[in-house]
Amino acid sequence: MVEKFEFWKSEKDGLWYFHLVAPNGEIVAQSQGYSTKDNCINGIKAIKLYAPTAIIYGE
């Protein structure tokens, strides 16, 4: 299995969401809700673009 993004439209609130799924099938990230499918896909593209250079903050 490979890592992947899965996206869907919620029946509950009508918004679009995506998951980032690890190779073992575990969901490692979930998005906010997006008003359109295109905006959701753009959110996925942003993660793919910026995540490799993102700085980790915390204690």
- Judge whether residue 1 has pLDDT over 90: no
Distance CA 33, CA 40 (A): 8
**pLDDT by residue (tens digit) across 20-53?**
999 999 999 999 999 999 999 999 999 999 998 9
Q: Tell me the domains of the chain and their CATH numbers.
A: 4-53 (3.30.160.160)
Give me the residue label for tokens 């593209």: 45
pTM for the whole structure: 0.88
Q: What is the mean pLDDT of residues 1-16?
A: 96
- Judge whether residue 18 has pLDDT over 90: yes
